Structure 1
Amino acid sequence: MKLVGALLIACAQAWLIPSSAWPLDPTRHISQYAHTAWRLQDGFLSGTPSGFTQTSDGYLWIGTQGALFRFDGVRFVQWTPPSGQKLPSENILSLAPDKDGGLWIGTGRGLAHWTGREVVNFGPIARINSVVTDDDGNAWFTRSRTQDNLGPLCEAVGSALHCHGVADGLASPNAGPLAQDTAGNLWLGLTDAFARWRPEASTTFRVNALAAAKGLSGVEAIAIAANGLTWVGMNRSGPGLGLQHLVNGRLKDPVLPGFDSSKLKVAELFTDRAGDLWVGTLDEGIYRIHGDQIDHYDSSAGLTGDGINGFFEDREGDIWVATTSGIDCFRDLPVATFSKREGLSSDQASSVLAARDGTVWVGTVGSLDFMRDGHVSSILPHHGLPGQQVTSMLQDHLGNLWVGVDNSLFIYSNSHFTPVLDLEGKPTGVVQFLTESEDHTVWASPVRTAHLYRIVGFRNGRAFQELDAAQTLNSYHLSAAAGGGLWLLLPSGFTRYRDGQIDAVIQKQTASIGHVTDISEDGPDSLWLATPAGLAAWRQGTLRFLTERNGLPCSAIYAMVRDAHRSLWLYSHCGLVRIENAELERWWAHPETAIETLTLDVFSGAQPAGSTFAPRASRSPDGRLWFSNDSVVQMVDPDHLNLNQHMPPVHIEQVIAHDTLYSVGGQLRLPPHTRDIQIDYTALSFVSPQRVQFRIKLEGHDPDWRDVGPRRSAFYTNLSPGTYTFIVRASNNAGVWNDQGDVLRFVIIPTWYQTLWFRALIVLLAVSLGYTLYLLRVRQYAAAVRIRFNDRLEERTRIARDLHDTLLQTIQGSKLVVDGARDNLPDHNRTWNALNLVSEWLGRATLEGRTALESLRATEFSDLTASLRCVVEEFRASHDIEFLLSLDAVEREMNPVARDEVYLIAFEAIRNACNHSGAKRITVELVSRQDLTLHICDDGRGIPETVLQKGKAGHFGLKGIRERASRLGAKLQIASTPKAGTDISLIVPGKTIFTPQNKSTNQFWRR
């Protein structure tokens, strides 16, 4: 669908859309309705509009010469058939809804039925002029320009078509307008006649005045009134033509004062729900007939065109008019405006007074106007008004009208103005406020003077020409007080003036009020005061302010008045605000509470502004409230607000995702990688589309409802794949909510890596990898434990062998010597020799045991250099060998296990050199660079080649050195010759012996 446009405000009141909707007030002139216009040159429609209808889903459909449009109150959308389907013609002539929400479409070349899913075309080819549907849901339509002899009236039943012609009482081949009365009769206009038809009976009414036209004109419109009266319109003027109605089987001119219906060229007729007849003409705009009252509205008043093509009344009571140049909509306003267009003499109304006899007096510049029985009259300067500017007004208890004119005060009685002068015969000045106290004394407060005038009596039925400037009181406001006296607004505060005295206590209590624009007394010592900062209440010495914090729509208040139900109406900056008396009392009892109000704003017709003179607000005996704003007079009827109670239908229209348009219906599936989504929705309330409020929620994304005001699109970004439910609700201009709303369910399809199975696979792989790493770590740890265990086992085995070969052998031999000595105790020589041998062997056992303990001890220090020095010192003490040491201080941190292995290699090499080489000098060198180098050499007899290669039976020293070096991944070289001794060199890689300096990185990779 193609979006054609949004609304255009076509005139100053184009969007003064009402809160009332059902029906239009027939007592008002058409000019008092809100008028909205869409003109063809503005581009909203592609052709001249021909008619309207409203389907059961709430949409308004508009047929034009070039296309069919759907309207939701804000947007015109051109309707296009589904792919592969089409209408008989793009020239749309007539429309009608079906009972299932579909649409009957009459075109210039045939009839079509849009069922909501498909277009069904009905033949044969003809011009479809009018379509109506009966109670059974069947469509009846009239035809012209036919290419068959089937007849001008046809019925579509299902997919079948039945036409009625001469055999059924319809002699004409062509028919135009079509209407249906409450009895089920069909009325159709023919070339020079019209007929009342039903299957079993038909009556044709000839229009003799059309016979001379010879087919060039005919009956163009038929309307059936609620009272059964049949109206007939012809597109020619003249005797017996124009607008006629059927009386006793004959057409007659309607008797309307000052109106000759035969002069009209009628194009369309329509009766609304109030029973009024709307007459559309070919070139004079529209007329509305209500009883014997006639309203006229044409292009000079703002109508888009003077040629009328169709009328329609929607469910909310709005009247739609199709003209040759556009579309017009008329809506009733709860706040009526009376200006020069409605008969006032000037658009400078400064005061308004509703008299007790129902007359409404309006003071303007250049006239005193009064409205009585629906008519406006004026008293002009040349007709008796003693001046130009009418200021303040007052009606006293006798019914006399006191009027300020220019700089004087007058009493208007019996169509005569009597001046009120002071004792010196001088005028009062420009009177701003007038009031009558309980003792029936009239008081006047002039502008920019320090006088408060009291009129003290009458003489001979005329005002006694005496004024008393009782005190020098510069009063900015004046109102009578219950119990006598006056309420005055002075520069120093608000107070009561009684018996010539000012109440200083009240003046002190109300000093913070500031400027007061109006006063409403609510009983003794109880006042409501309108101010530019809100509504002030003073009761028995307590002053409180009702402001926007307490629910007041806005602060600035120009005037106020009570209605017949004691609700307080405020003429405020944001419109007319009604506060029920119960709400006011609730607020007074609980000042922190928020009140509930009804606001009639600019969309309801309110044009609030301040006024210079008083009264600014007044209530007439019929309960209507009147307000002046220095420009126009406005009226509201509290008992007939007729607020719109129609719950607006809500529809989700389309979804736009990545510039692709998706139609709604069922569950919508959006492709992978969908990130940006726009959801367009609407609510079908035509009374005041701008005041329609929306509330949305996206389940699965929004935690709660979101109030989005009048916005009709929702935008979402970065939505994750999944299933979502979008819900939209709406309220009409009167706050009636459709809580059912509309629902859209959609799914964003995940990509392959966003699917559940992929995520499950990733989790499974992660668990498997973790478990694999865990097993690997356990195996590594077990291998390390086994290595350590094997090392310990090998070390214990070596020590056990050493002990067996040395210490145990020595102890065993000592035991045999002792046993032999014990058997030869008498032989002192042998005993002495045995003891010497035992002593020698025990010394050897002590040395061998100490050596074994040294090998078990490993290092006593974390410093390898210190450990080697300690070993050398111990062997130096027990052997007569010279040691040469060259040991670097190792500053880098060493792996404890690797350090101990290096220590044990060095210990074993030094021990072997001391015990077996017969060396005189042993050199021990330790070098710490990138790697660790240990160098041990002696000048002994060396190691035999066979022992060096294969080791000595029963000894494991060389084998243990090689095994330790292998575990370290070190490079070991052992060189030995008989003359040069033995040279052992060990190079341990730095990455093995030294701990990495970047511990965090190392720990990270270990993890």
Structure 2
Amino acid sequence: MFFRSALFGFLVFLFSTVAAAPQRPYWHTSMVHAAWTKRDGAPAAVFDMAQDQRGMLWFTATDGIYRFDGVRFERTTAIDGNPLRSSNTSGMLAVGTALWIGYNFGGVSVFDQGKVRHYGAAEGLPERSVYRIERNGNGVMWIASSAGLYWLDGARWRHVEPEDGLPSGDFHYFTALPDGSILAYHPQGLYRSSANGHQFHLVSKDKQIEIGHLLPNGDVLAVSVDHRLYRYTPRDDKFQAVNLPGGEQPFGVFVDHRGGIWINTDDGVKLLGRDLRVQRTFLAPQNLSGKLIYSMLEDREGNVWLTTENGVDRIRESRLTAISLPPRMFSGLSVRADRNGTVWIGNYQTTGNYELHSFGLHADGSREATPLTNITATARAPDGSVWFGNAEQIWHREDGRWRSWPLPPGLRGHEVQALAMDRAGRLWVSVLRKGVHVLHEGQWQAGGGHAELAPRTAVSLYADPQGAVWIGYPGNHLALVQGDAVRQFGPEDGLAVGNVTVMDSGAGHLWVGGDQGVAVLAGGRFTALSDAAGARMNGVSGLVASSDGGLWLHGADGLIRITAPALKAALAGGGQRLRAEHFDYLDGHEGKPAQLRPLSALTEAPDGRLWYATTGSVGWIDPARIDSNPLPPAPQITALRTDLQGYFPQSGLVLPQRTTNLELDFTAAALSIPERVRFRYRLVGLESGWRDAGARRTAFYTNLSPGQYRFEVSAMNEDGVWSTTPGVLAFSITPAFTQTLWFKAMCGLVVLGALYLLYCWRLALATRRMAERMGERRRERERIARTLHDNFLQSVQTLMIFFSQVKKGLSPTDPAQKRIDAALDAADLVLNEGRSQVHELRSNTLQEELDSALAGVGQALAEQHGVRFALEVTGAPAPLREEIAAEAYAIAREAMLNAFRHANSDDVRVTLAYTRKHLVLTVADRGQGLSAEVLAAGERPGHWGLPGMRERAESVGGTLAVHSAAGAGTRIILRLPGRRAYRRGPASAIPPQ
């Protein structure tokens, strides 16, 4: 009687606890467990654990603290670059952005956003072990230590003295109550403080309470030294004994936010159900890392974490709920739901000398026995009833009654491969190695009246809502039976699913699954489908077009869900890729559906749940109640390494000179299914777009240049929720002297200087070569002058003397006198001209009197041709280089001769302009000009004046331009660089422009 009343009272308490935590329903029976041990880098014998604001788990141990992101454990003796006071840590608490750490040798440290504050003897704490850190309902920090209880008064810790009502001694544990009071556990009794102070009073001294856990409704579940459970009500300081069914006496007890009670026994941990009976057991070492539970924590995602003597364990709910099966029922499983919501679970044994009967599972959880054994095929009729078949007979279940029909003698002993009931009430049966047959009103008909269907065994059968029957075969072959017509489909119709194992229709389309993919029939052709990543959905032996308009597949890797919106969007856009959601081993899927004989591996119950069967399990999922993780992950950069050393990743980090290669580690704490967390990152300053890292948590960069950089990383959790803000690390790489802008500018100046020196060298070389050529020309001119003087002029002079002597021998009245005088006059002119040429060849003053030389030529030509001539000199004349003056004179003389002789101009003008940068010589006339053909060709046919002038100009580094038009005169412009034209001398002698 006492047990019943205590149990009833505790059930009332438990229901109130669950009601107080509506954010998550109570645990269902299907859970996923994972364990990490030292082999995985996990700590052992952890004192305490906490979860920080970014979702990261922290563990205290005797060798430091450990951080865990769901994938990697990292042991550290510093937080955010701030070292611990000791690696021997104990109590821990996360409050906001701060992490509080207690030490086994005394003291507390608070790490908060890159800063640390240590509390020790100077702040009132003894050098004794700190076991527990907690904040009460009023926000005051408390610690339990081997020296007693302490509370933080501003910047100093105060000890609770005996005069405060609390005995001295060792305090391992206390519970902070919601009203701000503290419930302290001491060998002498249970003590409670006032709500807003540190005055304690005795609550109980006879129950020897060792530890207590706060329940969601504010009560405390306490455990005594002798392993008895009590419920303590703070409102009235009352205790009530709690006796567990079966006489369980736990070593420890823990309570989660769902109101679930976990008890630690001598072989593991057990979760109690709402009736306080054991709902799930996790035993060591099979599915728990150890026997002794040190601490428990429920994270913000609803996962339960346990620490044992060997490691760390996580327990979470799976999205797929597996049911318990009878012993030895572990293969050949199938599921089929009828219109009443009963799910019939078939069993086909291929080995063993025992037979297991299939059973029905009603919507209320009760089970119903059946006469069925070794079921190889099932089908749901249009009326919602269910048909079954094996190698001996056919069964039908309708309105609670069973009927059966034996297979004909020719078919008996051959297993039924597939079943389908059409709208006419005919049951289509595919029998292994015996082809397709129809059972109607107790009569069997081979091929259903179609001779071509009788011989070949069909892998699958499906009767669609329109009355047609689809027959699936191996090798991408499908037959459609509509009335008396049979149509065949094959690869030529786009069918590429391999062996057709399953079919269903929905959203106005026929969906076909096989061992090599899934296809949809649209517009008379099949189109292969793939997921959003382009992967084929292979190995499908279960397919359901669900009542909500979506599509579910069951393949070797688990269940695949394509929602109605995703299906509609893909079909409307004509695309073949579908945004799919996968449910695999991480969601509780075990085994794989039958492939060789595709039993019914997926079915939809009237309540909307999808039931699945594999080689080792049967379970369900409710599409309307799939738990998802709405918490965006908080990415963070955890390490930065170069080729030489590692750095703590703090913003503003300055890396040394010549750093070119970087390795950055990053993570995000998504603890439920960390295997599905995805990352993307970018290095601003080098790239603008994001890089998809997948599940990788490291980034590499090479050949970086000095500069300012900002590394950003973003994370997505298992349900596609991206982080709201990226993790950021700003850093810079210091340039070496050779990488600075000044060095580059200096190098540029050096290069420019080198180019200038090269230019000067080339100019000097060209000048020297030109001087050599001019020297050779001068020597040649001197040789010609000597030849003219010594030979030609002397010969003319001799002839003149000879003719003078002849003249003397003639009579004064001889008519030849006049002819000889005329010849002597002509010879005299030739002699004068020759002497003039000799003088010109030997002249060395041309370079200094170019204007005078040009004036003399112009005036002589003007008198000879009766044309006006003018010479204009601008700028201050400067002494010219000898070779420049000679070539300029030759070019100008040729241009002037052409102007006077051929231009038919009444005016010829020569302009000589001296500037600092150039010497410009222009010869212009107002004559008939040059034709377009001559300008285009650059010369007159058979004349070499213009080509010669250009060649002379190029030989001294100048340019020659000819401007002319028919009837508009001609201008010939010679432009010579000043550095080549002028001799070295005072630059001030030449105007700037």
Task: Tell whether the structures are fold-level matches, with TM greater than 0.5.
Answer: yes
Cα distance, 1:814–1:497 mapped onto 2, change above 3 Å: closer
* RMSD between superposed Cα atoms in Å: 4.7
Of 164, 173, 180, the match for 2:176: 180
Identify if the C-alpha distance between structure 1 residues 244 and 840 changes in structure 2 by more than 3 Å, giving closer, same or farther.
closer
Aligned 8 A contact 1:88 1:109 in 2: no
Q: Among 131, 134, 139, which residue is 1:132 paired with?
A: 134
Matched, 1:189 2:185: yes
Is the partner of 1:279 in helix, strand or coil?
strand
For the residues of structure 2 that align with 1:539 and 1:86, how far apart are their CA atoms? 66
Which of 100, 104, 109 matches 1:112? 109
The match for 2:210 among 193, 205, 219 is 219
Tell me the residue number matched to 1:233.
223
- Alpha-carbon shift at residue 575 of structure 1 (Å): 3.2
Distance verdict in 2 for CA 1:395–1:159, change over 3 Å: same
- How far off its partner does 1:703 sit? 6.2
Amino acid at match of 1:36: A
> Are the equivalent residues in 2 in contact too, given 1:493–1:510 (CA < 8 A)?
no
Deviations 1:238-285 (A, max 9, x none): xxx2454549643223366x3435x2222x42322x232233346542
1:944-959 alignment to 2 at 5 Å? none
Does residue 521 in structure 1 map to residue 505 in structure 2?
Answer: yes
Q: 8 Å contact 1:279–1:287 — kept in the other structure?
A: yes
Q: 1:770–1:91: structure 2 CA closer, same or farther, 3 Å change rule?
A: closer
For residues 437-476 of structure 1, what are the structure 2 equivalents within 5 Å?
Answer: 437-440=422-425, 442-450=427-435, 452-456=437-441, 471=449, 472=454, 474-476=457-459
| Correspondence for 2:543 among 560, 564, 568 | 560
Q: Is the 8 A contact 1:423 1:466 kept in 2?
A: no
Within a 5 Å distance, the mapping from 1:460-859 to structure 2 comes to 471=449, 472=454, 474-484=457-467, 486-489=469-472, 493-497=477-481, 501-504=484-487, 512=495, 515-522=499-506, 526-539=509-522, 541-547=524-530, 551=534, 554-592=537-575, 594-607=577-590, 608-610=592-594, 612=597, 614-702=599-687, 704-738=689-723, 740-782=725-767
Matched letter for residue 334 of structure 2: S
Change (3 A) 1:207 1:559: farther
8 Å contact from structure 1 (residues 506, 541) kept in 2: no
In structure 2, the residue matched to 1:287 is: 271
SS state of the match for residue 172, structure 2?
A: coil
Between the aligned partners of 1:523 and 1:812, the Cα distance in structure 2 is 125
Match of 1:438, SS state, is: coil
Q: Are 2:342 and 2:361, in contact at CA under 8 Å, matched by a contact in 1?
A: yes
Residue in 2 that maps onto 1:253 = 241
Q: State the alpha-carbon separation in 2 of the partners of residues 820 and 485 from structure 1.
A: 144
Name 2:73's counterpart in structure 1: 76
CA contact (8 A) 2:501 2:598 kept: no
8 Å Cα contact 1:187/1:196 also seen in 2: yes
Distance in 2 separating the partners of 1:159 and 1:337: 54
Q: Deviations over 1:443-494 (max 9, x none)?
A: 54443333524252xxxxxxxx765655546443223332446433367953
Runs (5+) with no aligned partner, structure 1:
1-21, 147-151, 211-217, 457-464, 858-896, 898-1007
Residues 609, 207 of structure 1: CA spacing in aligned structure 2 closer, same or farther, 3 A cutoff? Answer: farther
Q: Is the 8 A contact 1:23 1:317 kept in 2?
A: no
- 8 A contact 1:692–1:730 mirrored in 2: yes
1:814-867 Cα deviation digits (max 9, x unpaired): 9999999999998899x99x989x98997999899699989979xxxxxxxxxx
Q: Does 2:65 correspond to 1:57?
A: no
Q: Amino acid of the residue matched to residue 71 of structure 2?
A: V
Pair 1:102-2:99 in alignment: yes
User: Is the CA contact (8 Å cut-off) linking 1:334 and 1:636 kept in structure 2?
Assistant: yes
Q: Which residue of 1 aligns with 2:119?
A: 121
CA distance in 2, matches of 1:667, 1:82: 18
Change (3 A) 1:628 1:111: same
- Indicate conservation of the 8 Å contact 1:345/1:367, yes or no: no
Q: 1:820 to 1:748 in 2, by over 3 A?
A: same
Instruction: Give yes or no for contact 1:229–1:245 (8 Å, CA) kept in 2.
Output: yes
Residue deviations 1:944-981 (CA, integer Å, cap 9, x gap): xxxxxxxxxxxxxxxxxxxxxxxxxxxxxxxxxxxxxx
Offset at residue 614 of structure 1 (A): 4.2
Shift of the 386–796 alpha-carbon distance from structure 1 to 2, 3 Å rule, reads closer
Aligned counterparts of 2:482 and 2:811: Cα–Cα separation in 1 = 160
Q: Given the superposition, is the C-alpha separation of residues 182 and 108 from structure 1 closer, same or farther in structure 2, using an over 3 Å criterion?
A: same
TM-score, normalising length from structure 2?
Answer: 0.70
Q: How far apart are residue 327 of structure 1 and its match?
A: 0.8
CA shift, 1:311, in A, is: 0.7
Taking structure 1 as reference, are residues 179 and 790 closer, same or farther at Cα in structure 2, changes over 3 Å only? same
Instruction: Give the Cα separation in 1 of the matches to 2:634 and 2:532.
Output: 33
- Once the 2 structures are TM-superposed, how far is the Cα of residue 108 of structure 1 from its aligned partner? 5.3
Deviation for aligned residue 1:231: 0.9
Q: Is the 8 A contact 1:231 1:244 kept in 2?
A: yes
2:850 corresponds to which residue?
A: none
Aligned residues: 795
| Matches of 2:410 and 2:774, distance apart in 1 | 135
Q: 1:926-945 CA distances to partner (integer Å, 9 max, x unpaired)? A: xxxxxxxxxxxxxxxxxxxx
> How far apart are residue 701 of structure 1 and its match?
3.6
SS of the equivalent of 1:208 reads coil
How much has 1:622 moved relative to structure 2? 2.7
Alpha-carbon deviation of 1:748?
2.9
Residue 892 of structure 2 aligns with which residue?
Answer: none
- CA offsets, 1:611-670, max 9 Å, x none? 535432112233210111233223222112222222111111122112411112123222
Is the 8 Å Cα contact of residues 332 and 594 (structure 2) preserved in structure 1? no
Amino acid at match of 1:315: R
Q: Within 2, Cα distance between the matches of 1:844 and 1:494?
A: 121
Q: What one-letter code is carried by the residue in structure 2 that aligns with 1:747?
A: S
After TM superposition, give the deviation of residue 37 of structure 1 in Å: 0.5
* Structure of higher CA gyration radius: 1
- Indicate if the aligned counterparts of 1:685 and 1:692 stay in contact, CA closer than 8 A: yes
Partner of 1:363: 346
Q: Secondary structure at the match of 1:269?
A: strand
Q: Distance in 2 between matches of 1:506 and 1:85?
A: 71
Cα distance between partner residues in 2 of 1:824 and 1:314: 146
Identity of aligned residues (%): 24
Q: Matched residue of 1:285: which SS?
A: strand
* 1:408 matched to 2:393: yes
**What is the TM-score with the length of structure 1 in the denominator?**
0.69
The aligned residue for residue 264 of structure 1 is: 250
Contact 1:333 1:605 (8 Å CA) reproduced: yes
Q: Which residue of 2 aligns with 1:893?
A: none
Q: Which residue of 1 aligns with 2:203?
A: 205
1:57: how far off? 3.1
Trace 1:314-353 onto structure 2 (pairs within 5 A). Answer: 314-338=299-323, 340=325, 346-353=329-336
Deviation at 1:708, TM superposition (A): 2.1
Hey, what's the Cα distance between the residues in 2 that align with 1:805 and 1:497?
A: 127
CA contact (8 A) 2:77 2:84 kept: no
Cα distance in 1, alignment partners of residues 285 and 758 from structure 2: 90
Secondary structure at 1:665's aligned position in 2?
A: coil
Do the aligned partners of residues 479 and 324 (structure 1) sit closer, same or farther apart at CA in structure 2, a change above 3 Å counting? same
